[in-house]
Amino acid sequence: MKDGIVDLSEPSGDDLLKALSALANPHRLRILAALAEGRNYVSQLAREIGMSRPLLHMHLQRLEAAGLVSGTLELSEDGKAMKYFEVAPFALRLTPETVAEAARTLTDERESEGSR
């Protein structure tokens, strides 16, 4: 993170996979587009994009794990807990060199599977 921005210009292989995987879904792109207009809470966002809350929550978790959105729990005026999400500032610069460098840092999944 640099100046409050998730800097994906020199990501590790695992971070690059997480970000690209999160972005490689049309629902998550729509969610990011809606949140780019301003922060919103889950129920309202679900209505705006026409998605069930459980499905939206699953997609928001993937985006949050990738560092692309952030969520905060707040109390409404009537005392209800509401989770608000907003786009986390991020920058993604993708070049062949960036991909090659990130690939060298990938966690080898075969090693982790063998140690189970």
Give the pLDDT of residue 8: 67
Give the pLDDT of residue 85: 97
30 lies in some domain: yes
Domain CATH for 72: 1.10.10.10
Report DSSP letters for 7-58, one per residue. Answer: E-SS--HHHHHHHHHHHSSHHHHHHHHHHHT--EEHHHHHHHHT--HHHHHH
Residue 34 near residue 20 (C-beta atoms within 8 A): no
Residue 1 pLDDT exceeds 90: no
Q: Render pLDDT for 36-65 as a digit per residue (tens, 0 to 9).
A: 999 999 999 999 999 999 999 999 999 999
What is the number of structural domains in the chain?
1
